[in-house]
Chain A
Amino acid sequence: MVTKLKVILTLCFVKIKKIMLAVKKKKSMKEIMTVYYMEAKTAKLSGKKVAWITSGGPVEPLIAMDIIPVYPENHGAMIGASKMGVDLCEKAEEMGYSRDLCSYARSDISCATVNGGPIGGLPKPDMLICCNNICGTVLKWYEIQARYYEVPLFILDTPFCHTEYSEEAKKYVRRQIEEYIAFLEEVCGRKMNYEKMDKVGRLSVEGQRLWQAVLDTATNSPSPITAFDAFFHLALIVTLRGTRIAVDYYKNLLEEMYQKVDKGIGAIPNEHYRLLWDNLPIWYRLRWLSNKFADYGASLVADTYTTAWCGTLKYIDVDNFLDSMAEAYSRIYLNIGIDEMAKNVIEMIDKYNVDGFVIHSNRSCKPYSLGQYDIQKIVQRERDIPCLVIEADMVDERNFSESQIATRIEAFMEMIKEQKGSWSRNSNYTE
Chain B
Amino acid sequence: MCVAGIDIGSITSKAAILSDGKIIGTKVTFTGYNAALAGRKVYEDLLDELTIDETSIKKIVSTGYGRNSVDFVDKAVTEIICHGTGAHYLNPHIRSIIDVGGQDSKAMIVDQDGRVKDFVMNDKCAAGTGRFLEVMARALEVDLDSFGLQSLKAERPSKISSICTVFAESEVISLISKGEKRDNIIAGIHESVAARISALAKRVNVRSPIMMTGGVAKNIGVVKALERKLGMSIEVSEYAQSNGAIGAAVMAMKL
**Direct touching of A and B (C-beta under 8 Å):** yes
Which residues of chain A have a CB within 8 Å of any CB of chain B? 86, 90, 93-96, 99, 397-398, 400-401, 403
In the complex, the chain A residue whose C-beta lies closest to that of B170 is A403
User: Which of chain A's residues have a CB closer than 8 A to the CB of B195?
Assistant: 90
| CA of A99 to CA of B128, assembled, Å | 15
- The answer to the question of B138 belonging to the interface, with a C-beta cut-off of 8 Å to chain A, is no
A94 touches B199 (CB 8 A): yes
> Is the contact region of chain A dominated by helix, strand, or loop, or is it mixed?
helix
Min C-beta distance of A408 to chain B, whole Å: 15
In the complex, chain B residues whose CB is within 8 Å of the CB of A398:
161-163
Nearest-CB residue, chain B, relative to A89:
B199
B168 CB to closest chain A CB (Å) equals 10
Residues of B146-203 at the interface with A, using a CB-CB cut-off of 8 Å, are: 161-163, 167, 170-171, 174, 195, 198-199, 202-203
Kindly identify which residue among A94, A96, A99, A400 contacts B161, using a CB–CB cutoff of 8 Å.
Answer: A400
Partner of A90, one of B162, B171, B199: B199
Bound form: Cα–Cα A398–B171 in Å: 12
For the complex formed, measure the closest distance between the CB of B125 and the CB atoms of chain A, giving whole angstroms: 10
Chain A nearest CB, measured from B126 CB (Å) = 15
* A residues in contact with B202, CB < 8 Å: 94
CA distance in complex: A155, B28 (Å): 60
Residue of B whose beta carbon sits closest to that of A400 = B161
Contacts of B198 in A (CB 8 A): 94
How far apart sit A95 and B205, CA to CA, in the bound complex (Å)? 9
Besides A90-B195, A400-B161, A403-B170, 14 other CB < 8 A contacts? A86-B161, A90-B199, A93-B199, A93-B203, A94-B199, A94-B203, A95-B203, A99-B163, A398-B162, A398-B163, A401-B162, A401-B167, A401-B171, A403-B174
Q: How far apart are the CA atoms of A364 and B170 in the complex, in Å?
A: 24
Chain B CB within 10 Å — which of A86, A94, A95, A403 has the most? Answer: A94
- Cα distance A93–B161 in the bound complex, in angstroms: 16
Cβ of A141 to closest chain B Cβ, rounded Å: 20
Write the chain B residue with the least CB distance to A99. B163
Which residues from A are CB-within-8-Å of B171? 401
- Complexed CA–CA distance, A401 and B162 (Å): 8
- B residues within 8 A CB of A401? 162, 167, 171
Q: How far is the CA of A28 from the CA of B171 in the complex (A)?
A: 39
Cα–Cα distance between A90 and B199 once the two chains are bound (Å): 7
- 22 A-B pairs with C-beta separation under 8 A: A86-B161, A90-B195, A90-B199, A93-B199, A93-B203, A94-B198, A94-B199, A94-B202, A94-B203, A95-B203, A96-B203, A99-B163, A397-B161, A398-B161, A398-B162, A398-B163, A400-B161, A401-B162, A401-B167, A401-B171, A403-B170, A403-B174
For B170, the chain A residues whose CB sits under 8 A away are 403
In the complex, how many angstroms separate the beta carbon of A248 from the nearest chain B beta carbon?
41
Please, which residues of chain B bring their CB within 8 A of the CB of A400?
Answer: 161
User: Roughly how many angstroms separate A397 CA and B198 CA in the complex, as a whole number?
Assistant: 19
Q: How far is the CA of A270 from the CA of B213 in the complex (A)?
A: 59
Cα A401 to Cα B195 with chains together (Å): 19
Residues of B within 8 A of A94 (CB): 198-199, 202-203
Chain B residues near A90 (CB-CB < 8 A): 195, 199
Cα-based distance from A94 to B199 in the complex (angstroms): 5
Contacts of A93 in B (CB 8 A): 199, 203
